[in-house]
Amino acid sequence: MKFWHKIASFLLIACMLSVQLPVAAGEGGEPEITAQSAIIVEASTGRVIWEKNADARMYPASMTKMMTGILALEQMNLRSQIVMSPAAAYTESSPLGVLPGETIRTDELLNGMLLESDNGAAVALAESMAGSVSSFANIMNGKAEELGMKDSHFVNPNGLTAEGHYSTARDMAKLARYAMQNQAFRDIVKQEQRTIYWTSPGNKTFRAHNTNKLLGKYEGMTGIKTGWTNAAGGCLATGAQRNGVELIVVLMKTPTPDDRFKDAEKLLDYGFSHVKMSKALSKERTRHRVWVTNGQEASTHVYPAKDIAYPLINGEDKSKYSLAYDVPKVVSAPLKAGTPVGNIVVRYNGKAVEQVPMLSEQVNSGFSIGSWLVQTFSWAINLV
């Protein structure tokens, strides 16, 4: 009887534990969010941690301004002056209040656009870069193609609702990840507030506040860009860093503006509880030899553009990661220091999850017996 009593007691305790200890979101369960589409990616590799309808085409609203912002940083002289056109000044939802004919420096306008989400500022930047909104849209779409944003198409620089202007959570995550690799972009979107200064009239200023309410509230928050229209609903691309892990979250079409921030907190919490980084290679300690033709030396070294770390999700096995050099065996001088020469391909379970550029040391052109021999026998070197 004592044996059966023990068995019954054990079963009773097991049942009680199963009822009292459900698996909560962030500890193995799925996060419950209001957004119709969302994705979490690890920022250094772009590896997807979790997604929901991430390829559904939707209006991106002002997340569009990430594209306008990064293009401005890459193509414009930030100290150049912009005279506000009537078309830009009278664009709806332009809280900076830059009037036609007023002059403002490019970097001031860029900060105002990314913090206050000023739609007119986006138009002014587009006009300065391409002459017109339609011409700038072509540049945006070219950049989108370059970034592998296969389900995106832009027709304006600010995200105001328009036919043919769409994107997906996955594509917006690619854009956000790319933009956040630019230090100037990171510095802008992490600001909680900033004073915007006019060139003319010289006494005009505006105190811009970042529309991302998670800045200063969520631990490790790094930005990035909000979005809202009646058609798009609540949109948000945001990022955070904790314990060596950087995440990017994108969500689209929440019912209310506040829901996007609540959803983002849930998704970031979920991501941080499921991911840890494992260091693989240090760029300072990794060198890969390549042979040189037409150079003063017969060989040089290439090295990774950054340290390589693996995102391990839900206790994954580090041994399933592998690295492969996709680097030419022979290069031709001259090469400037830092010139990309192939990649290191990072794979998990045989699937490529990241490519890290390999950069060259300085290689001067000239003649050496060794380099001449490399050129003579390059066919044999490439066969090895």
Task: Note if 152 is an active site residue.
Answer: no
pLDDT tens-place string over residues 72-89: 999 999 999 999 999 999
Domain 37-275, CATH number (from 3.10.20.600, 1.10.1740.10, 3.40.710.10, 2.40.50.140): 3.40.710.10
Q: Identify each DSSP E strand in the chain by its residue range.
A: 37-42, 48-52, 81-83, 103-105, 193-197, 205-209, 221-229, 233-242, 245-254, 275-281, 288-293, 299-304, 308-313, 321-326, 330-332, 340-348, 351-360
User: Residues 292-312: what's their mean pLDDT?
Assistant: 91
The pLDDT value given to residue 140: 98
Residue 261 makes CB contacts below 8 A (sequence gap 6+) with 213, 214, 236
* pLDDT band at residue 93 under the 50/70/90 scheme: very high
**Residue 334, preceding bond cis, omega within 30 degrees?**
yes
- Binding residue ranges: 225
For this structure, is 65 an active site residue? yes
H or E segment to which residue 10 belongs:
helix 2-20
The letter for the amino acid at 209 is: H
Q: What is the mean pLDDT of residues 233-262?
A: 97
Report the CATH number of the 282-383 domain: 2.60.410.10
Q: Which of 37, 44, 52, 65 is labelled catalytic?
A: 65
Whether 62 is catalytic is: yes
Residue 105's DSSP bridge partners are: 81
Q: Which of 37, 44, 94, 117 is catalytic?
A: 117
Average pLDDT over residues 309-318: 88
Nearest 10 degrees: CA dihedral of 158, 162, 166, 169?
60
- Average pLDDT of the segment spanning 26-54: 90
Q: Which ranges in the chain are annotated with CATH 2.60.410.10?
A: 282-383
The answer on pLDDT for 379 being more than 90 is no
Which of 48-62, 240-254, 283-297 is the least confident region? Answer: 283-297
Residue 23's contacts (CB-CB under 8 Å, 6 or more residues apart) are 29
- Mean pLDDT for 131-147 is 98
Task: Please state, as a whole number, how many other Cβ atoms lie within 10 Å of the Cβ of residue 265.
Answer: 19
Would the pLDDT of 314 be above 60? Answer: yes
- 37, 62, 94, 167: the active-site residue: 62
What is the pTM for the complete model shown?
0.84
What per-residue confidence (pLDDT) applies to 13? 33
- The binding site for substrate consists of 225
CA separation for the pair 42, 224 (Å, rounded): 15
| pLDDT tens per residue across span 17-27 | 333 222 234 34
Nearest to 65, CA basis, from 160, 168, 146: 160
Question: Which residues make up the CATH 3.40.710.10 domain(s) of the chain?
Answer: 37-275
Q: Would you state the structure tokens that stand for residue 123, as one six-digit string? A: 């138009």
Phi-psi region of 364 (alpha: psi -120 to 50; beta: other; left: phi over 0): beta
